[in-house]
Amino acid sequence: MNNLNISVFASGGGSNFKAILKAKRNGIIKSNIPLLITNNSHCGAVEIAKKNSVNVVHISRKVYPDLDEKEYSQVFLNVLEKFKIDLIVLAGYMKLLPEYVVERYENRIINIHPALLPSFCGKGMYGINVHRAVLEAGVKVTGITIHYVNKEYDKGKIIFQKCVEIKENDNEISLQKRVLKYEHKYYPLVIASLEKIISYEKSNN
Ligand code: GAR
């Protein structure tokens, strides 16, 4: 047990979110996970949150079309402050975070990307699109990257990478499945190491 709070941000099926919650149950992750923020109130991640008694907050430009960047950032920051969030974990979150959130949570936001950055990244490069691009490029190896988040897509400092084999007869679905297994294994482990560092820094401040 530590006194840190993690918020997961997700837009899709939520298999990484599920793996993170499992790691919490198994004691690998020690922090509380009280909050899911999503831009898509109908996504699988929301269902997973409900089943696991995690609070869900839906924030999207569709809900707040008239706010400027600062006001829109403040909507996120109010929720993050309410839940005393120390670490933001993006797990299939398909939106760029508002810039003041990135600024306020510098080195406290991480993302997982289903390829070896800096290849196969940027706008539109998410989920299955990444695996399609990897196969089209004909590379022999792919992987996962866990990195800090800054104001540009997929450009923050890399924390962890792991190679994943590409097989002769792979299609984008079989490749996605193999890569996801690595994501589910390593994302919780990286979160567990980061929470130790954040916890140490907090107690020495
Ligand atoms: C994961 O493969 C994650 O790496 C990817 O979206 C998928 C979400 O799956 N993220 C990106 O492509 C970010 N650029 P999930 O909803 O089942 O966790």
Mean pLDDT of the chain: 96
pTM of the predicted model as reported, rounded to 2 decimal places: 0.96
Burial of 169 (0-12, 13-18, 19+ CB in 10 A): exposed
24-51: burial string, b at 16+ Cβ within 10 Å, e else: beeeebbbbbebbbbbbeebbbbebbee
State which of 15, 93, 125, 161 you would mutate to test the pocket of ligand 1, scoring each by most atoms of that ligand within 8 A of its C-beta.
15
Interval 34-87: pLDDT, tens: 999 999 999 999 999 999 999 999 999 999 999 999 999 999 999 999 999 999
Interval 137-172: pLDDT, tens: 999 999 999 999 998 878 899 999 999 999 999 999
Domain region containing 31: 5-203
Locus of tokens 């992750």? 29
CATH code at position 66: 3.40.50.170
Pick from 201, 186, 202: which is nearest to 89 by CA?
Answer: 186
Position in ligand 1 atom list of the atom nearest CA 94: 13
Confidence check: pLDDT of 120 > 60: yes
| Averaged pLDDT for residues 196-203 | 92
Cis omega (within 30 of 0) for bond into 118: yes
Tally of structural domains, the chain: 1
Catalytic residue ranges? 113
